[in-house]
Structure 1
């Protein structure tokens, strides 16, 4: 276990005669990378969440339930799971449409079922409730925000690694110059 002294806040920005310019640059790169990472993650996450929630609110406002009728009967299923069947409905403009919908097994032809349609009369799924929309928007915003935050985070890590390699090269150069003056080198 390594012995460490007391933790000093903001140690990267304090004056120190042994601190090199590369150390100061690295500290600012780190601070900048973290700040940009947080800002990008939050901004992109909030924008995504707002967009997703707005889209789902628009769906709730535009999509309507419509009464449809089964065109063919469905066989009874022993497990009682809903099955796909052909249905027919009339769109708000009066045109007739047909499509597939999930219905209870054992339903007879002509049975009324509720389907959801968009303004053009096409079949759609039932829109998400406001609570479901908030949850989906939060999940999407969190995932997209975290993904977007990885760009500045990774860029900062790569830049820091490059600064570290440059610092090691400088140490090697200085060691090669001053090491022999000490009379004995290791290695």
Structure 2
């Protein structure tokens, strides 16, 4: 709103400098970018991310299968790559040797993390595999994909607004520096004559 009032105020003002008008126009452009371009960019990025993530979620849900595994025996230690899990997640899971049937009917066996606190031989649990029975991560669900897309859109909108405001501040800073440099030049030209008798000041 200040951008509009600034433009109106400087419209016919005889004291208006070029930098004053430029500063008002820069503020107006930044305001329009923040009000229009930022939400539009956020919506476009969010929509694109939503389409891509939902497609990926459908592919994963089609390619990954939840199968029933059976504990052969408990194993000590941790699986490679399990160090990134939280302590509470590791405490509720046990490392076991288990077997399961792949969706194509082949039998598979190997060390896995089971959602069992104290596993015994013959206990059953569920795990995710691909079509060939190889272990894989849980597929992306639709709600998680939507949440990720919304975060991407929000991040893009905030980034666009931040870039517009940063551009405005840098431009205004340069305009002010140029204005001060011109004042310094004017003072340097006028300053030595002040207070002297017989000068044209």
The answer to whether TM tops 0.5 is yes
Q: Is the 8 A contact 2:65 2:103 kept in 1?
A: no
Q: Is the 8 A contact 2:50 2:145 kept in 1?
A: no
2:6: which partner in 1?
Answer: 12
Give the helix-richer structure, 1 or 2: 2
Which residues of 2 match residues 156-175 of structure 1 at below 5 A?
Answer: 156-175=168-187
TM-score by length of 2: 0.65
Deviations 1:122-170 (A, max 9, x none): 4233334433332333234323542454334323322222222112212
Query: Per the alignment, do residues 25 and 181 of structure 1 end up closer, same or farther by CA in structure 2, a change over 3 Å counting?
Result: same
Q: Is the 8 A contact 1:116 1:126 kept in 2?
A: yes
Q: Is the 8 A contact 1:71 1:110 kept in 2?
A: yes
Return the alpha-carbon distance in structure 1 between the equivalents of residues 153 and 109 of structure 2.
36
Return the alpha-carbon distance in structure 1 between the equivalents of residues 152 and 104 of structure 2.
35
Q: Is the 8 A contact 1:68 1:114 kept in 2?
A: yes
1:73 aligns with 2:74: yes
Q: Which runs of 5+ in 2 are unaligned?
A: 77-87, 197-201
Q: Is the 8 A contact 1:65 1:114 kept in 2?
A: yes
Return the alpha-carbon distance in structure 2 between the equivalents of residues 103 and 74 of structure 1.
14
Q: Determine which of 137, 152, 157 is the counterpart of 2:149.
A: 137
The 3-state SS of whatever aligns with 2:30 is helix
Shift of residue 181, structure 1, vs aligned partner: 5.8
Which residues of 2 match residues 110-129 of structure 1 at below 5 A?
Answer: 110-119=122-131, 121-129=133-141
Query: Per the alignment, do residues 106 and 9 of structure 1 end up closer, same or farther by CA in structure 2, a change over 3 Å counting?
Result: closer
Q: Is the 8 A contact 1:99 1:123 kept in 2?
A: no
**Which stretches of structure 1, 4 residues or more, deviate above 6 A after TM superposition?**
none
Return the alpha-carbon distance in structure 2 between the equivalents of residues 68 and 74 of structure 1.
15
Which residues of 2 match residues 1-187 of structure 1 at below 5 A?
Answer: 10-14=4-8, 15=11, 16-37=13-34, 39-40=37-38, 41-42=41-42, 43-73=44-74, 81-95=92-106, 96=108, 98-119=110-131, 121-147=133-159, 149-179=161-191, 183=195
Aligned residues: 175
Q: Which runs of 5+ in 1 are unaligned?
A: 1-6
The 3-state SS of whatever aligns with 1:56 is helix
Query: Per the alignment, do residues 133 and 22 of structure 1 end up closer, same or farther by CA in structure 2, a change over 3 Å counting?
Result: same
TM-score by length of 1: 0.69
